[in-house]
Amino acid sequence: MNWLTEETHGRRIYLWIFGTLLLGYIYTFAAFAVLGRMGVTIHPQVSDLKIDITSWSLPFLLFFFALIEEMMFRLPLMIAVNADADKKIIFLFAFILSVVFGLLHGGIEHIFLQGAGGFLYCILFLKCGGYQKNYLQATAVSTAAHFLWNLSLCVIGIYHGVTAI
């Protein structure tokens, strides 16, 4: 796990964000295929907000929600890193946080989708400054990736005729 000790800087951050999103898309596509073959139906999380996804304010809301989620789910990682915990403990925290992230996004079956995405954001957070205690940069990078993921899902939703989340 020595790859984690070198903080990513500059243009390489964009490659990490792009790579995280690409890996997320590939994984999600494969997970839907496998879960579908197993007869598991993934129901989208139902929101009580009913936000019009064609509204000009949607990108701001998506950014705000991504930032809040990143702060909530990366704070335990910050605490573990700040306490100089062993890398295995930090990855255990990342795994547990990812399971909780998936559960809160809709239930047990969502652990395999949103939970996996949450784990990718944990890795991105740690690689792009979190492990080196550069928490502001790490939070900015993981929030950017999370926001772009959510925004891309809304674009796909608009393409398929979804009008509210």
- Report the distance separating Cα 105 and Cα 45, nearest Å: 6
Neighbours of 23 (CB within 10 A): 14
pLDDT, residue 139, reads: 97
Domain membership of residue 164 (yes or no) is no
Per the model's pLDDT, the better-predicted residue between 12 and 9 turns out to be 12
Domain membership of residue 165 (yes or no) is no
Strand partners, 164: 52
Domain membership of residue 84 (yes or no) is yes
pLDDT single digits (tens) 83-108: 999 999 999 999 999 999 999 988 88
pLDDT single digits (tens) 59-68: 899 999 999 9
Query: Which range of residues forms the domain containing residue 128?
Result: 2-159
pTM of the model: 0.89
- Report the distance separating Cα 78 and Cα 73, nearest Å: 10
pLDDT, residue 126, reads: 97
Count the domains in the chain.
Answer: 1
First to last CA, the chain: 39
pLDDT, residue 58, reads: 86
Burial class (CB in 10 A: 0-12, 13-18, 19+), 66: buried
